[in-house]
Structure 1
Amino acid sequence: MQPLIDHIQITVKNIKVAEAFYDKFLPILGFDINRKVKAYIREHDFHVIEYTHDNLAFAITSPRKAFQNDSINRRKPGALHHLAFRAESRAEVDNAYMQLLKIGADIVSEPQIHPEYSDTYYAVYFKDTENIKYEIVCNL
């Protein structure tokens, strides 16, 4: 078995606000918005929007009513700290950064080498409209 991820599903506070962001963000990573699927899963009482790609399915999900007013904080136990997507070159990181600026992503750290990880670790860090942190990285 290889450590490959089949799908990721993230709960967001406001699915409509999040959908508007992810409709712009995920094409930067190569997702085709025309392959987006929406559903309501009655058994689990949530709405889900799944963006499909041959390599990965990425979904956003509505919260349970009991948690809808909770704040998102990546340092809470059980929370997603951040999610990193691999780029094939530093130019891809730079291009993604320029596109992230255009869609209004909250840039945490512009593309740069992060020597605390390695001499070749080149990444941009940003947050979505829900304060969920992401990274696009090239380690060459």
Structure 2
Amino acid sequence: MLDHVGVPVSDYARSLAFYRQALAPLGIVLLMEMTPEATGGNGAAGFGSGEEPFFWFGDDGAPGVHTHVAFRADSRAQVDAFHAAALAAGGRDNGAPGLRPHYHEHYYGAFVLDPDGHNIEAVCHRPE
């Protein structure tokens, strides 16, 4: 389980629109935005599915620096919905939904590259 992950982005507004749409099928929503004044640097957005954000991005934008983040899904249908939503939001396919038995027999994941090339995954570990 993740506590939180942060990634740099080159275009805050574009990334905000992408993640709002791509993460919605997983029940992950924007919970908090921090102003540049509050962070002492650049603005940041925090997404989560409860009270505390666990996925952050900010206008830190070091080009060529990419991150991999895996979000846990409750079902394979959610993985499929994430992949479709992320592609519709402008992401690039980096691995269609399907079993990845080299990780374990029930590992069902999908991968997309976000607008900055970060490898974003949704994964379900359940056997259904």
TM-score range, shorter chain: 0.7 to 0.9
Q: 71, 75, 84: which is aligned to 2:63?
A: 71
Change (3 A) 1:24 1:95: closer
2:99 equivalent in structure 1 = 113
The runs of 5 or more residues in structure 2 that have no matched partner are: none
Change (3 A) 1:137 1:62: same
Number of equivalences: 125
The percent of aligned pairs where both chains have the same amino acid is: 25
Q: 47, 53, 57: which is aligned to 1:51?
A: 47
Which structure has the greater CA radius of gyration?
Answer: 1
The runs of 5 or more residues in structure 1 that have no matched partner are: 75-79
Alignment deviations for residues 91-115 of structure 1 (CA, whole Å, 9 cap, x no partner): 2212222222322221101011112
Alignment deviations for residues 20-49 of structure 1 (CA, whole Å, 9 cap, x no partner): 21222232321344x443412366321122
Q: Measure, in 1, the Cα distance between the counterparts of 2:122 and 2:73.
A: 6
Aligned to 1:83, what secondary structure does the other structure show? strand
Contact persistence 1:41–1:48 (CA under 8 A) = no
Q: TM-score, normalised on structure 1?
A: 0.73
Q: Measure, in 1, the Cα distance between the counterparts of 2:2 and 2:86.
A: 26
2:16 equivalent in structure 1 = 19
Alignment deviations for residues 20-79 of structure 1 (CA, whole Å, 9 cap, x no partner): 21222232321344x44341236632112233541641322112xxxx4x42244xxxxx
The root-mean-square deviation of aligned C-alpha atoms, in Å, is 2.4
Q: 20, 25, 28: which is aligned to 1:28?
A: 25
Q: TM-score, normalised on structure 2?
A: 0.79
Q: 108, 114, 125: which is aligned to 1:139?
A: 125
